[in-house]
Amino acid sequence: MLDAGRHSNINLLAYSEVEEVEGEVGSFKVKVRKKARYVNEDLCTGCGACVEKCPSTVEDEFNIGLGERKAIYKYFPQGIPSTHCIDAENCRQLGQGKKCGICAKVCQAGAVDYEQQDQLVDLEVGAIVLATGYDVFDPSVIPEYGYGRIDNVVTAMEFERLLSASGPTHGHLDRPSELALRAEIAVLDKDLKKATRQIEKLEEKHGKKTSKFLKEFKAGKAGEDGDFERWATLAEKAADTEKNLAPLKKREAAAQTARKLAFIQCVGSRDFRFNRFCSSYCCMHSVKEAMIAHEHDNETTSSIFCMDLRAVGRGFEEYKLRGGKTANILYVRGRVAEITEDKAHNPIVWYESTTSRRVEHETFDMVVLATACVPSAATPKLAELLGLELEENGFFKTDPLAPLDTTRAGIFVCGCAQGPMDIPESVAQASSAAARAAEVVSMAGEVAVGGS
């Protein structure tokens, strides 16, 4: 990625959208909208001083909502260019009409520019390669799995961020129920500190402790000072908050990281209700995540529930077997019917074992849903813009004998734009697509030279 960003023949237009495409193979005219970052990427050094001081926090999309980010942020640490962007909607200065400007004040490079506007860039190109990636299937439409209702049922992408050292838990497998508990405790702690400060000011002003004041107040001997009603209310609020905090902190002290994991395969894939196709990479992704979880804590055990495990790549079968031998992974052949929850927020997996031919259930610390790979939400709009056909599953249609060629000459695809595939296959396709693009550009050049 760094090499691509520094290459003299590569012009990166990050944070941009294609708005118009005209022409034909060898001579496409493309109009691109380069969105305003409100940060000059040529001046920004990526130091992060602006992020540190920004007072506005919002849900972090990169961490799948499991953490928070600031209104000025980097989408992810290794992004190219290594620059920041202001989320205008959640920025106090740009989106809320408030006076702030803190990021501009602390930026020593002078990179923050609140007046920056979108730019339209016109490109003339000989070929186009579509690498639009994919979206993750939303498992909340399968209510029996409890996603969105049971805290400790997560998607594979959410679990990936929990495992990451740069993620919201710094690589510790803290359960979402415990993360929610900590957030609740933080809010109550903040409220208690605020009420305590106000009570201390009233004690200082009236020269008496709250306990003595409350006795007088309840007996009707406190007098008629305007502060007394507020003082009594604050004292009651502080007492209730302390009472509520005690059991929550006790639960937090007893909380442990997730050590017994269940992975549910084919969530939204190979399912006539949603997507008939196999998403290809999910089986090995689950094995990899289970192995990494075991590396984090050798007491971790994982059960992978599957109809069958499709280890189709080179060395994949050996990798799967190694996971079973060295990482405490149990492969369970059976379709999960339902996930319920006990009083301790532990998910209970109910499944039909196809080996024992019985309905069984087991309790886990956390359940990971291997969700389907589906076409990106922008694919239909982009297909219409480019004049391309889509196949029955919503991916870009390609020639069976030339699998990188779309239905329009000079436009090629690679990776999950064509269909579900893993990283090695996507990389190989990217090289092939680049070669095909170079081929048609070279042929167009030869025609032009011959014609002149």
Out of 313, 348, 374, a domain closes at 374
Amino acid at 85: C
Is residue 112 domain-shared with residue 142, that is, in the same domain? no
Q: Are 117 and 36 in contact (CB under 8 A)?
A: yes
What per-residue confidence (pLDDT) applies to 72? 95
CA angle 104, 109, 112 (to 5 degrees): 35
Pick 427 or 2 by higher pLDDT: 427
Is residue 95 domain-shared with residue 67, that is, in the same domain? yes
Query: Residue 341's domain spans which residues?
Result: 136-174+258-374
Is residue 302 domain-shared with residue 170, that is, in the same domain? yes
**Overall domain count for the chain:** 4
Distances (CA, A) of 200 to 196, 225, 344: 6, 17, 38
All residues at 6 or more sequence positions from 92 whose CB lies less than 8 Å from its CB, including other chains = 55, 56, 71, 98, 99, 100
Is residue 191 domain-shared with residue 330, that is, in the same domain? no
- Taking residues 398-426, report their average pLDDT: 94
Domain assignment present for residue 4? The answer is no
Q: What is the CATH number of the domain that holds 126?
A: 3.50.50.60
Is residue 107 domain-shared with residue 46, that is, in the same domain? yes
253-312: pLDDT as tens digits: 988 899 999 999 999 999 999 999 999 999 999 999 999 999 999 999 999 999 888 888
Residue 216 has pLDDT above 70, yes or no: yes
What per-residue confidence (pLDDT) applies to 5? 76
Q: Are 66 and 60 in contact (CB under 8 A)?
A: yes
Closest CA to 29 of 402, 410, 293, 327: 410
Give the DSSP letter string of 72-92.
EE-SSTT-SS---EE-GGG-T
Buried b (16+ CB within 10 A) or exposed e, 309-331: bbeeeeebeeebeebeeebbbeb
What per-residue confidence (pLDDT) applies to 173? 93
342-355: pLDDT as tens digits: 999 999 999 998 88
Is residue 364 domain-shared with residue 264, that is, in the same domain? yes
Domain assignment present for residue 2? The answer is no
Residue 172 has pLDDT above 80, yes or no: yes
Residue 193 has pLDDT above 80, yes or no: yes
What per-residue confidence (pLDDT) applies to 254? 87
Distances (CA, A) of 148 to 49, 67, 85: 35, 16, 30
Q: What is the CATH number of the domain that holds 70?
A: 3.30.70
Residue 405 has pLDDT above 80, yes or no: yes
Confidence of residue 222 (pLDDT cuts 50, 70, 90): low
Q: pTM, whole model, 2 decimals?
A: 0.88
Is residue 89 domain-shared with residue 40, that is, in the same domain? yes
Residue 226 has pLDDT above 80, yes or no: no
What per-residue confidence (pLDDT) applies to 295? 94
Q: Are 296 and 290 in contact (CB under 8 A)?
A: no
Task: State the Cα–Cα distance between residues 336 and 356, nearest whole angstrom.
Answer: 14
Out of 327, 350, 374, a domain closes at 374
| Average model confidence (pLDDT) across the chain | 91
Is residue 447 domain-shared with residue 382, that is, in the same domain? yes
Is residue 158 domain-shared with residue 288, that is, in the same domain? yes
Helices (H), 144-262: 156-163, 176-206, 210-218, 227-254
CB atoms within 10 A of CB 11: 8
Task: State the Cα–Cα distance between residues 72 and 41, nearest whole angstrom.
Answer: 13
Domain assignment present for residue 5? The answer is no
Amino acid at 450: G
Out of 327, 343, 374, a domain closes at 374
Is residue 318 domain-shared with residue 445, that is, in the same domain? no
